[in-house]
Chain A
Amino acid sequence: MNVPSPRPLNSISLLWDQTSEHQTTGITNPISSLSSTTAVTMATAGSFLQRCHRALTKIPRLTSQLTSQPPRKPFHPHHPRLLTTSTTTTTTTTALTDLSQPLPEVAPRTRLTPLSPSYYTGSPEYYDNLLALQDLLRSHQALPTIHGDDAPVVKWKTIDEYRLIVGDRVKPSRYNKVIHILDRLNRIDPAIMPAETKEVLALYMRPENQALGRKIERTTDNFGRAYAIGRRKTAVARVFLVEGEGEALVNGMPVNKKFSRLHDRESVLWPLIVTNRVDRYNVFAVVRGGGLTGQAEACTLAIARALRIHEPALKHALREAGCVTVDHRQVERKKPGHLKARKMPAWVKR
């Protein structure tokens, strides 16, 4: 009962938990599990996997629950798991606190029960991990969040690094699911983020995260001008935005002389129109390349960016108006042997 047997990972035979073994293996002592916790929190990237192994071997198993109850369904949204919120902790905590107590005798059974509820999923390691994260997320669902832009900048482990953790069978889409949950957890208000969550998130971060978080702050220059560049199609617009009375010059011309189409003129001034700042700023733009539509919408992007330098609080409004979205599409080049980018000459017999 008190001998924790270090087991090799992923060996099928050991995934099976035989009831007859429960008396010999099973619950580790609480002290060792404590030390493993600290080890995990201080884990570095290099020995990560080994630590994981060690931690794995020391997981206290709720053998009583597993064996005395019928096998659980793989997933149920309201199923109490090992990690739950305060509302569901009652049973779990008692189970955990009872760990030091000797387990009640269970009648030996011959039927084999998979230890993991995701045993039949094909990649049980991944799904266990995902389920645990989902549990964590569900338990913190009600905590207030902040906007994604204000959340601390984090770089998660790449898919290759993640594969090292959970095994090889992780498709990018599955990896994305995990990242999605992590991003959501990261958006919990930092002021009240539970320490437990912080630790969990730390496990998935890349070590170079300390270098992040220092963004180059763009400011207006000493003349009060904000400078920004925008591109669309093959046009490039450089824009100086100053506080003023609403004059707009594009290539030295008023907007109505540069752009004869009303639609294009509206496009140029769209960031200012939407935020109702047409008469607050003067625009001086230089546009090169491309056609009229490209030039007009390059101006849009540049003005929106420059406006954000003046007033960062306009970010959401401009995003909603579609002014800060970069459209990087360009004309596809013509290829030799083709008539256009893709068109092939008509087939001629002989």
Chain B
Amino acid sequence: MPLRTVFLQPSTLRTLPRYASFTPRLNPALIRGFASKDIPPPAPSKPVGPNQDVLPPVSEEAALTADIMGGTSPELEQGTPIGEMLKRDPAARQNAPKVLKETPGTKREYSTSATPIEPPPSDTPVDVVSSTAPASPPVSVDAFALTVPGAKYPLPQLPLPSCSHLKHRYSTLLEQVTNFIMIGGRKAKARSLVDQILAHLRTFPAPKPREGTPLLPGTPALSTLPLDPVQYLQTAIDSVSPLVKISMLKGGGGTKQPVPYPLRLRQRRRFALEWISAAADKKRDKLEFAERFADEVVAVVEGRSSAWEKRSQVHKLAVVSRANVIVNPGRTVAPSKIKFPMAVL
């Protein structure tokens, strides 16, 4: 006899009615998928302020009363000026809220607009430091410690923003550029070179737009790029990166056929980096590597780099040899998933 249900005998089910024991402890809010239809869904979690669930305005109330009692209802369209009511009724004047007692026009030091109470975000409030001295955070520490056990100060909001991991502090592009530049595992040196490149991009004159440079759509205005050098670098690399690569496949009769293959983002960037650094190496009138590289990046954005020719060469060959495209290149990619960028060529 198989051991199929060695430890899960059906007989136990019979003796222990399911859920009978713990049904009373069930908290419907805690259990997903158990809510029955007749129980109304729980109220939205937005807290309700003390004066949000109150009676309708005075005039509306008066109108309703007049409807029932048969009197003249106040003009609802125009509303009753509260000042008039206060003038008419001395008792109302006494009991009027503080806001109304004051003469209009003077500036109040408190707000009277009823905004819904929002709980303070769990992230530390963004508090712009005053220009004289850094201010202390407004959330009082003791009050917070009472609410969250095991935390002395406000907790950071999870998930953490990107680039918060110890090992992934920089954007993927910068990481790839660093690794591309690195020689012999000297990462610190490569990082400093990337920093220098970015610094040069800041200080070089802003690139001049040239007609016919196929920069990525959505590129910000070129004059703003020097203030955001990472965006600058990304614009250059992503614009000049090829969409396909050509690999020569052995054909019949000792010939070779060029076959275009689509590239992933990382591969595309690598090709662009190869071309840019190759063009930069040819510059001999610049002192340092970083300066040469940054200069080439500017050249790419301005459309006068040799990387553009290489790109168009690859694309032309891809168009010519589009008959050789292997539509189902591997078992991992379904034919429907292949995004062969013919339209962009």
Contacts and interface: CB of A to CB of B under 8 A. Distances in A.
A and B pair up: yes
Interface of A: 7, 9, 14-15, 30, 33-34, 36-37, 40, 52, 55-57, 59-60, 82-83, 86, 89, 92-93, 96-97, 115-119, 124-125, 128-129, 131-133, 135-136, 142-144, 165-167, 189, 191-192, 194-196, 199-200, 203-204, 243, 261, 263, 266-267, 270, 274-277, 280, 297, 300, 310-314, 316-317, 320-323
Contact of A316 (B12, B30, B158, B164): B158
B interface, by DSSP: helix, strand, loop or mixed? loop
Nearest to B159: A320
A296 B148 CA distance: 31
Nearest to B14: A96
Given A33-B9, A194-B19, A317-B160, A128 B155 contact: no
A34 B32 CA distance: 33
B19 to A, nearest CB: 7
A313 B160 contact: no
Name the residue in B3, B15, B165 with the highest tally of chain A Cβ atoms < 10 Å from its Cβ.
B3
A44 to B, nearest CB: 14
Contact of A142 (B16, B21, B32, B153): B32
A263 B26 contact: no
B37 interface: no
B188 A263 contact: yes
Given A191-B25, A274-B164, A15 B1 contact: yes
Interface of B: 1-16, 18-19, 21-22, 25-26, 30-34, 124, 148-156, 158-160, 164-169, 188, 191
A92 B9 CA distance: 13
A167 B124 CA distance: 56
B226 to A, nearest CB: 22
A320 B25 contact: no
B25 A192 contact: yes
Given A96-B11, A192-B26, 7 more contacts: A37-B9, A52-B6, A96-B13, A97-B14, A129-B6, A144-B31, A274-B156
A interface, by DSSP: helix, strand, loop or mixed? helix
A15 B10 CA distance: 20
A316 to B, nearest CB: 6
Contact of B12 (A37, A89, A270, A320): A37
A59 B1 contact: yes
A31 B164 CA distance: 62
A83 B166 contact: no
17 contacts: A7-B1, A33-B11, A34-B15, A55-B6, A83-B10, A116-B2, A128-B2, A129-B4, A135-B8, A144-B31, A144-B32, A167-B3, A194-B22, A313-B148, A313-B149, A314-B156, A322-B165
B17 to A, nearest CB: 10
B151 A314 contact: yes
Contacts, number: 176
The 9 closest A-B CB pairs, nearest first, are: A128-B4, A313-B150, A116-B2, A313-B151, A33-B11, A312-B150, A322-B166, A142-B33, A322-B165
Given A37-B15, A263-B188, A115 B2 contact: yes
A300 B166 contact: yes
Nearest to B29: A144
Contacts of A192: 22, 25-26, 30-31
A217 B148 CA distance: 19
Contact of A56 (B3, B32, B155, B159): B3
A12 B12 CA distance: 28
A135 B26 CA distance: 22
B314 to A, nearest CB: 36
